[in-house]
Structure 1
Amino acid sequence: MQETNWYRTDLIDETEEVVQHQTKQQKEKLDESEGVIFEEYTEKRVKVTKVLVNKEGSKEIGKKEGQYITLTVPSLNIEDHEGMEQLEQSFLKYIDEIHQDIPLTKESKVLVIGLGNRTITPDAIGPLTIDAMQARQLENHVEQFILYAPGVTGQTGFETSEFVHALTEKIRPDLVLAIDALATRGSSRLCKTIQITNTGIHPGSGVGNQRAEISKEVLGVPVTAIGVPTVVDATVIIADAVDKVFRSIATKIQEKDRPSGKLSVTTWTSDTEGEVDLNLVRPIFGEWSTWSKAERRQLFEEVLLSDSQRLIVTPKEVDLWMTKYSTLISNCLFQWIENRVNQF
């Protein structure tokens, strides 16, 4: 089967998964290279993934050198206030941690860039966050933030990075924060994740619409990117659905003689998140049912992308998610800058 380049993701830990799904020799080479330091743990319901990439690791996984922090609440839903509160607490903690080496005082200037197209809901997290921050800035009179939503190249005719570069040269901020929507290659990550990285950002890269980067190398000042995954390729949705069907059937076959199945007085729902032997469904669906999820995704990519039509999928409640995340990011940034400047 022809190898596919999984470029439709902006999340660093998904890039790590690509390497892990490759050959055993490649995985061992990555582990021995010390180019990527990977740390993963849980704080309450928030799954925290930290990845530190050096020059050698950048070549191995195709991501820029720097620090990446990914925060995910896997069980998060639109009505889950507790989950959002825990995600907010973690975001506040790690937005401070990633900037520990950057001194900020009451005289400091932080340029906040809201990337994206406000007329396309899944891409509007940046402009909506700027709106939320402007409203709060009027109330709190916070002078450190300079807020700007440049729009997209299709609207203005100019590269977004050119606007940001010109503004940076004019005001000379101590830090640039770029907020944008991201693409994921896992449907379970949609609107349940925030990624923070000090490597900057390539607007639109996750959906194959790569523009000039916004980074320290380009602007001359530190750049931190804050992103929320809001879209996923349709082939990923198909692959995830097929995998869930295979795992569900295999689990029912595996547990049909156990008390959990025999004593159930209602419709029995199996747990497909644990270890499942997919060889149990091989007689029904054939060899491909035992392939890894990555291999099946690659098959769907090859078959479906041969057509000229390509679909990008977003949750139906994406407008509510955008409101929640723009408020969350705005609240945390104001609280963070207040805590930081009051230290001096």
Structure 2
Amino acid sequence: MIEVNWSRTDLIDESKEVVEHQTKQQKERLQQSSGVNIEEFNEGRVKITRVNVDKIGQEQIGKKEGKYITLSVPTLTIDDQNGFEQLEKAFTKYLDDIHKDIEIKQDSKILVVGLGNKTITPDAVGPFAIDAMQTEHSENPSDHFVMYAPGVTGQTGFETSDFILALTEKIKPSLVLVIDALATRGSSRLCKTIQITDTGIHPGSGVGNQRTEVSKEVMGVPVTAIGVPTVVDATVIIADAIDHVFRSIAARIEEKNKPSGKLSVRSWTPDPNAQVNLDLIKPIFGEWSTWSTNDRLQLFEEAFASHPERLIVTPKEVDVWITKYSLLISKCLFSWLDQKVKKSK
């Protein structure tokens, strides 16, 4: 069976190397052998995953040396004010944490680049964040932020990194912040996650459109990438949907003969996180119903490998999500900058 295209994600905690080392023993083995440190914990409703990769780890897992911080609120919804407030608090905190070694002086400049195509909503979080920063602080602009939305190569005909490099050489910033939309390999992560990394970014890599990277090695100054996953491969949606159906049917069969099932006076909905015995549905659907989600995903990858169209899916409310994240990122950047400048005084 063809292996899953694990690279169709921009989130390090969804990469093959991290996913395959989820248990404590496996994580310890990975850290000892490759110099990759994985730390997971919760702050309120926000799940935080910190991955530090050193030079040895870079060679071992094929991910750039540096820090990766992923913030996720699995239960986040569009109207979830509390969830957004907690995510905002965590984002500001870890934005400061990843830049603790970078000094922002009174005359320092920070170049903020909003990558993406403003005319395609799932790809517009970068340009929209720049608009939000310019609009919200139009009456009191920052002396530190220089904001730029270069568009995409398909619109301009030039490499985006060339524009950013020219501007970097002109203004000589202390830091470049790059905001972009990301791809995820888990539908539950769509628009519920923010990733921060000091390794820079390869625009379009999550959907197979490799461009020249925007990184410290290319720009000559520290580069931090801020990303929000807004798209997922259609095969992932299919695998997730089938997994949900199988789990629901197995849970209903398991519940059928229990007192709680007999006493139920309305339609019963199984807990999506509860452990279920998938062997119960093997007589109905056969052996493949007990496969892991990843095994089924590999099957779909193989089945659709020769299909002329590879579909990328985004939530139907993506325009609302993009607006909310644009405002959140804008607010947090100014809040972080204000704290950073006060500390330097």
Q: TM-score, normalised to structure 1's length?
A: 0.96
Which segment drifts farther, 12-21 or 169-178? 12-21
CA distance in 2 between counterparts of 1:32 and 1:263 reads: 52
What do residues 154-186 of structure 1 show as CA deviations (whole Å, max 9, x unaligned)?
Answer: 000000000000100111000000000000000
Which segment drifts farther, 255-264 or 215-224? 255-264
Contact kept? 1:71, 1:91, Cα under 8 Å: yes
- Verify: 1:318 aligned to 2:311, yes or no: no
Q: State the Cα distance separating 1:309 from its structure 2 match.
A: 1.1
What amino acid is the match of 2:101? D
What do residues 40-87 of structure 1 show as CA deviations (whole Å, max 9, x unaligned)?
Answer: 111111111111111222233332111000011101111111111111
What amino acid is the match of 1:75? T
SS at match of 2:138: helix
CA distance in 2 between counterparts of 1:21 and 1:282 reads: 28
5+ long unaligned stretches in structure 1? none
Q: How does 1:215-294 map to 2 (within 5 A)?
A: 215-294=215-294
- Verify: 1:115 aligned to 2:115, yes or no: yes
5+ long unaligned stretches in structure 2? none
CA distance in 1 between counterparts of 2:188 and 2:53 reads: 25
Q: List 4+ stretches of structure 1 deviating above 3 A.
A: 16-19, 25-29
What amino acid is the match of 1:37? N
CA distance in 2 between counterparts of 1:60 and 1:279 reads: 37
Are residues 300 and 18 of structure 1, via their aligned partners in 2, closer, same or farther at CA, if it must alter by over 3 Å? farther
Q: State the Cα distance separating 1:152 from its structure 2 match.
A: 0.3
What residue is the counterpart of 1:194 in the other structure?
194
Which segment drifts farther, 293-302 or 135-144? 135-144
CA distance in 2 between counterparts of 1:10 and 1:238 reads: 20
Are residues 27 and 281 of structure 1, via their aligned partners in 2, closer, same or farther at CA, if it must alter by over 3 Å? farther
Contact kept? 1:15, 1:61, Cα under 8 Å: no
CA distance in 2 between counterparts of 1:310 and 1:112 reads: 32
What residue is the counterpart of 2:104 in the other structure?
104
Q: Percent identity?
A: 68
Contact kept? 1:109, 1:175, Cα under 8 Å: yes
Contact kept? 2:27, 2:38, Cα under 8 Å: no
CA distance in 2 between counterparts of 1:77 and 1:66 reads: 31
CA distance in 2 between counterparts of 1:82 and 1:254 reads: 35
Q: How does 1:1-344 map to 2 (within 5 A)?
A: 1-16=1-16, 19-20=19-20, 30-343=30-343, 344=345
SS at match of 1:138: coil
CA distance in 2 between counterparts of 1:59 and 1:238 reads: 33
SS at match of 2:47: strand
Q: State the Cα distance separating 1:31 from its structure 2 match.
A: 4.6
What do residues 180-231 of structure 1 show as CA deviations (whole Å, max 9, x unaligned)?
Answer: 0000000000000000000000000000001000000001100000000000
SS at match of 1:337: helix
SS at match of 2:5: coil
Q: State the Cα distance separating 1:88 from its structure 2 match.
A: 0.5
SS at match of 1:95: helix
Q: TM-score, normalised to structure 2's length?
A: 0.95
Q: State the Cα distance separating 1:269 from its structure 2 match.
A: 0.9
Aligned residues: 342
What do residues 72-109 of structure 1 show as CA deviations (whole Å, max 9, x unaligned)?
Answer: 11011111111111110110110001000101122111
CA distance in 2 between counterparts of 1:304 and 1:91 reads: 37
Contact kept? 2:133, 2:330, Cα under 8 Å: yes
What amino acid is the match of 1:250? A
Contact kept? 1:19, 1:61, Cα under 8 Å: no
Which segment drifts farther, 103-112 or 200-209? 103-112
What amino acid is the match of 2:90? S
SS at match of 1:209: coil
CA distance in 2 between counterparts of 1:187 and 1:97 reads: 28
